[in-house]
Structure 1
Amino acid sequence: MNFTELTVQEYESFVQNPALESHYFQVKENIDTRESDGFDVVLLGVKDDNQQVIAASLFSKIPTMGSYVYYSNRGPVMDYDDLGLVDFYLKGLDQYLQKHNCLYVKLDPYWIYQIYDKDIKPFPDRTPNDALVTLFKSHGYTHHGFTTQYDSLSQVRWMGVLDLENQTPSSLKKKFDSQRKRNINKAIKYGIKVRFLSRDEFPIFLDLYRETEARAGFASKTDEYFYNFIDTYGDKVLVPLAYIDLDEYIEHIQGEINDKENRRDQIMQKDNKSDKQLKKIAEFDKQIAHDKKELLNASELRQTDGSILNLASGVFFANSYEVNYFSGGSSEKYNQYMGPYMMHWYMINYCLEHGYTRYNFYGLSGDFTEDSEDYGVYRFKRGFNVQIEELIGDFYKPIKKMKYRVFNTLNNIRQKIGK
Structure 2
Amino acid sequence: MFEFKINIDEKEHDQFVRESKYCNLLQSSSWALIKQNWKHEIVGVYEDSRLVASSLVLIKELPLSFTMMYIPRGPVMDFENEELVSFYFKNLKKWAKKHHCLFIKMDPSIHYCDYHLEDEKKVYPESEKIMKILEKNGCIHMGLTDDFHATIQPRIHMAVYKNEFSVDQFTKKGKKNLKIALKKHLEIKMGSYELLDDFCRVMNCTSQKKGISLRNKEYFKLLLDTYSEDAFIMLAYLDLEKTYKESKTRFDQVLKDIALCPAHAKKKRFQLEETLESLTRECDELKNFMSQYGNTVCVCGTLTVQFGKTSEILYAGSDNQFRRYMAPYLTWTKTMEECFNRECEFSNMGGVEGTLKGGLADFKAVFHPVVNEFIGEYDIPISRLLYRISKFFYKKRKG
1:179 aligned residue (155, 167, 173):
173
Distance (Å, rounded) in 1 between the aligned partners of 2:82 and 2:249: 64
Give the 3 Å change call, closer, same or farther, for CA 186–79 of structure 1 in structure 2: farther
Distance (Å, rounded) in 1 between the aligned partners of 2:105 and 2:377: 7
1:345 aligned residue (327, 330, 333):
333
Matches within 5 A, 1:183-332: 183-199=177-193, 201-218=195-212, 220-247=214-241, 293=279, 296=283, 300=287, 303-305=290-292, 306-332=294-320
What corresponds to 1:111 in structure 2?
Answer: 110
Aligned residues: 376
Amino acid at match of 2:70: Y
Give the 3 Å change call, closer, same or farther, for CA 224–303 of structure 1 in structure 2: closer
Is the aligned partner of 1:139 residue 2:127? no
Give the 3 Å change call, closer, same or farther, for CA 138–80 of structure 1 in structure 2: closer
Moved more, 183-192 or 210-219: 210-219
What corresponds to 1:23 in structure 2?
Answer: 24
Instruction: Provide the alpha-carbon RMSD of the alignment.
Output: 3.3
Moved more, 336-345 or 82-91: 82-91
- SS of 1:20 mapped into structure 2: coil
Give the 3 Å change call, closer, same or farther, for CA 47–253 of structure 1 in structure 2: farther
- SS of 2:144 mapped into structure 1: coil
Q: Shift of residue 363 of structure 1? A: 0.5
What corresponds to 1:275 in structure 2?
Answer: none
Q: Shift of residue 220 of structure 1? A: 3.0
CA deviation string 1:107-128 (max 9, x = no partner): 111111111221362259x447
What corresponds to 1:164 in structure 2?
Answer: 162
Amino acid at match of 1:180: G
- SS of 2:320 mapped into structure 1: coil
Q: Is the 8 A contact 1:160 1:388 kept in 2?
A: yes
What corresponds to 1:400 in structure 2?
Answer: 383
Distance (Å, rounded) in 2 between the aligned partners of 1:410 and 1:151: 17
Q: Is the 8 A contact 1:21 1:321 kept in 2?
A: no
Q: Shift of residue 302 of structure 1? A: 6.4
Give the 3 Å change call, closer, same or farther, for CA 396–321 of structure 1 in structure 2: same
- SS of 2:92 mapped into structure 1: helix
What corresponds to 2:72 in structure 1?
Answer: 73
Amino acid at match of 1:325: I
CA deviation string 1:354-382 (max 9, x = no partner): 211101111012123xxxxx522222222
Q: Shift of residue 198 of structure 1? A: 3.2
Give the 3 Å change call, closer, same or farther, for CA 408–362 of structure 1 in structure 2: closer
Amino acid at match of 2:365: R
What corresponds to 1:33 in structure 2?
Answer: 34
Q: Is the 8 A contact 2:195 2:233 kept in 1?
A: no
Amino acid at match of 1:173: V
What corresponds to 1:278 in structure 2?
Answer: none
Give the 3 Å change call, closer, same or farther, for CA 21–137 of structure 1 in structure 2: closer
1:61 aligned residue (55, 59, 62):
59
What corresponds to 1:129 in structure 2?
Answer: 127
Q: Is the 8 A contact 1:241 1:314 kept in 2?
A: yes
Give the 3 Å change call, closer, same or farther, for CA 325–120 of structure 1 in structure 2: farther
TM-score (norm 2): 0.83
- SS of 2:149 mapped into structure 1: coil
Q: Shift of residue 247 of structure 1? A: 4.2
Q: Shift of residue 235 of structure 1? A: 2.5
Question: Runs in 1 of length 4+ with deviation above 6 angstroms?
Answer: 250-257
Amino acid at match of 1:68: T
Is the aligned partner of 1:7 residue 2:1? no
Q: Is the 8 A contact 1:114 1:127 kept in 2?
A: no
CA deviation string 1:83-127 (max 9, x = no partner): 543333223322332344322111111111111221362259x44
Amino acid at match of 1:187: A
- SS of 1:182 mapped into structure 2: helix
CA deviation string 1:333-363 (max 9, x = no partner): 1111111111101012112222111011110
Amino acid at match of 2:95: Y
TM-score (norm 1): 0.79
- Please list every run of 5 or more consecutive structure 2 residues that lacks an aligned counterpart in the other structure: 254-267
- SS of 2:89 mapped into structure 1: helix
What corresponds to 2:44 in structure 1?
Answer: 45
Is the aligned partner of 1:379 residue 2:366? no
Q: Is the 8 A contact 2:161 2:346 kept in 1?
A: yes
Distance (Å, rounded) in 1 between the aligned partners of 2:386 and 2:183: 63
Distance (Å, rounded) in 2 between the aligned partners of 1:359 and 1:411: 32
Amino acid at match of 1:14: F
Identity of aligned residues (%): 22
Q: Shift of residue 407 of structure 1? A: 2.8
Give the 3 Å change call, closer, same or farther, for CA 410–107 of structure 1 in structure 2: closer
Q: Shift of residue 236 of structure 1? A: 2.7
- Please list every run of 5 or more consecutive structure 1 residues that lacks an aligned counterpart in the other structure: 261-281, 369-373
Q: Is the 8 A contact 2:318 2:328 kept in 1?
A: yes
